[in-house]
Amino acid sequence: MINVALDGPVGAGKSTVARECAKRLGFVYVDTGALYRSCALFCIRNNVEIDPGNEEKISEILNSDLDLEFDIVDGIQHVYVNGEDVSDQIRTREISKAASDISALPSVRRFLLDRQREIAAKNNVIMDGRDIGTVILPNADIKIFITARPEIRAKRRYDELKAKGHDVTLGEILVEVNKRDFNDTHRKEAPLVQAPDAILLDTSELTFEETVEGMIELIGSLTEYDK
């Protein structure tokens, strides 16, 4: 199996780029952020406060009551919480913030570790997240760290939210991006950092198509994969 680890900060375009690359290569795309979002959604629905001081309770309810499943349907990733497809429900701003908070908890990261590795062991995957190359798949065939300047990432996120009808300002989104960057890079458990053997891909001046083609070229040149 060929495993591609794709890390980077919020708004760097990891999900959209990884999804398109996986589609063209015939790989399975794994959005690990969706798993954290699902855990956050489950806690919110069960009135469990997402707070470091409440980590024991969070760990208890996830391990005892959450049945989290992952599937690919027509090439699209779906996540199920206790049998319910929550792929759409986890894409709100509220869940995005909650996912950032819950991902900082060591017990939650441990809860999801084996699930992510099991997926990679059974499939050719492009797995994106913030600690894929450093923690989840340290022996991945290729590691790529994708990023862009904060203002560029904020503008992309702003355009995405406006297209979905959200009432937001670019300034608000830039504040959120910078806060998320700080939280992700300063957490004690598996902070966001470029793996020493990862290739840096700055997309600030690249179009979506240029980024996708660049990644596919990297994957082809650094692995034995030949579609």
Taking only the tens place, the pLDDT of each residue in 127-138 is 998 899 999 999
Output the pLDDT for position 225.
Answer: 56
pTM of structure:
0.81
Alpha-carbon distance 227 to 225, whole Å?
Answer: 6
Strand order across the 28-31 sheet: 28-31, 125-129, 3-7, 142-147, 199-202
Give which of 81, 80, 130 is closest to 104, Cα–Cα. Answer: 130
Residues 6+ apart with CB under 8 A from 109: 103, 131, 135, 189, 190
Number of domains present in the structure of the chain: 1
Whether residue 224 is contained in a domain is answered as no
Is 223 among the domain residues?
no
CA contacts within 13 A on the Cβ side of 194: 11
Q: What is the pLDDT of residue 224?
A: 63
- Is residue 170 included in any domain, yes or no? yes
Distance separating alpha carbons of residues 26 and 100, to the nearest angstrom? 30
User: Would 214 be classed as within a structural domain?
Assistant: yes
Adjacent-strand bridge partners of 77: 72
Residue 98 has a pLDDT of 93
Q: Give φ, ψ of 208 to 5 degrees.
A: -60, -45
Which range of residues forms the domain containing residue 198? 3-218
CATH number at 132 reads: 3.40.50.300
Residue 153 lies in a domain: yes
pLDDT-derived band at 15 (thresholds 50, 70, 90) equals confident
Residue 158 to residues 70, 151, 219, Cα–Cα distance (Å): 28, 10, 30
* Cα 101 to Cα 98: distance, rounded to the nearest angstrom: 5
- Assigned domain for 19 exists: yes
Distance of CA 212 to the CA centre of its chain: 17
For 184-214, how does the pLDDT look when each residue is reduced to its tens digit (9 = 90+)? 898 887 889 999 999 999 999 999 999 999 9
Which pLDDT value is given to residue 226?
A: 54
Flag whether 122 is in a domain.
yes
In a domain, 117, yes or no: yes
